[in-house]
Amino acid sequence: MTQVILFNVTNGLIIGAFYVLMALGLSLILNLSNVINFAHGNFLALGGYLAFTLSPTLGYWGALLVSPLLTALVGLAVERLMIRRVYNRDPVYSLLLTFGFAFVMQDVARYVWGPNGLPLGLPDFLSQPISADLFFITWYRVFMVTVVIVAVLGLFAFLRYTRVGVRIRAGTLDLETVASLGVNISFLRTFNFALGCLLAGLSGVLAAGQIGLNPNMGDDLLMPSFIAIIVGGVGSLIGTLFGGLLIGMAAALTTVFFPAASEAVIYAIMMLVLLFRPRGFMGEEGMMS
């Protein structure tokens, strides 16, 4: 029983880590640009597929570094060409735009890489279990969690200590004032969108090593990421981090005792939060209205 619970705790940690990376990217874009990026799951898939294509030439480590950057580049182009056109319009347009674009991206992935699942090869030592007792924990799982932790710390350090990062945080609170202080918010939004896509691409590469690749691999992560943002509180990245871990853990632990309800429990958490603390655990008052 201890092993079962331990197994599911590590599972929850890993699922939670994916939710966190995904939700942080979504949250960045939502906070600054007020856009829900429906195509975020497709950027995740794109990152994974790019790693699949690049790893024969660059090796796994090269692909791990390069494909998130390429994903960010695609995100940058998408923002420049399409999404920036709808910033000043009713939110219905940005939703429809990213929603439709998600369809296109998924179909393109299916067309280019085929509809069937593909594996992403890992370096040998990563697929070994860490010990005989803990046979269910491979080094890859440890590695994934480490990468996520490094990425999250890096993101928070970036937002805290660099000029662009501070501007992004300021823009989250009051974009108009930031603009009137002479900051190029058009650039800021583009950069921020690309940063969100970078995180999605990174989680795509990591996810591909664990569950393999398929054209709609990001879809299952999208809804929990929304819920992580709602639970954690819109406007707070720490909240999103906390929300992602919470629902990842909750889903995994429910699997131990009542497997059928593992999806339902995260929705139950969302309902409870909306009922008793509508702004989310760490959301700013008024941020969600």
Q: Which is nearer to another protein, 110 or 169 (CB)?
A: 110
The terminus-to-terminus CA distance of the chain in angstroms comes to: 45
Phi and psi torsions of 106, nearest 5° = -65, -40
- Whose CA is closest to 159, among 58, 269, 32, 267? 32
Residues 34-73 that bind another protein (CB under 8 A): 34-36
Distance CA 172, CA 71 (A): 23
Residues 190-249 that bind another protein (CB under 8 A): 223, 226-227, 229-230, 234
| Binding of another protein by 119 (CB under 8 A) | no
Task: Say how many residues touch another protein, by CB under 8 A.
Answer: 44
Choose the stretch contacting another protein; rule: CB under 8 A; options: 13-21, 63-71, 163-171, 257-265.
257-265
Question: Which amino acid makes up residue 158?
Answer: F
Which structure tokens are listed for 281? Answer: 């655990």
| Binding of another protein by 250 (CB under 8 A) | no
Contact code string over 157-186 relative to another protein, x by CB under 8 A? ------------------------------
Q: Which is nearer to another protein, 133 or 285 (CB)?
A: 285
Q: Could you give the residue ranges of the DSSP H alpha helices within the chain? A: 2-33, 40-81, 91-113, 139-161, 163-173, 175-180, 185-211, 219-232, 237-257, 262-276
Q: Which is nearer to another protein, 56 or 286 (CB)?
A: 286
Question: Which amino acid makes up residue 34?
Answer: N
Alpha carbon of residue 22 to chain centroid: 1
* Least distance from another protein to the Cβ atom of residue 65, Å: 30
| Binding of another protein by 91 (CB under 8 A) | yes
Q: Which is nearer to another protein, 112 or 153 (CB)?
A: 112
Among 23, 86, 175, 178, binds another protein (CB under 8 A): 86
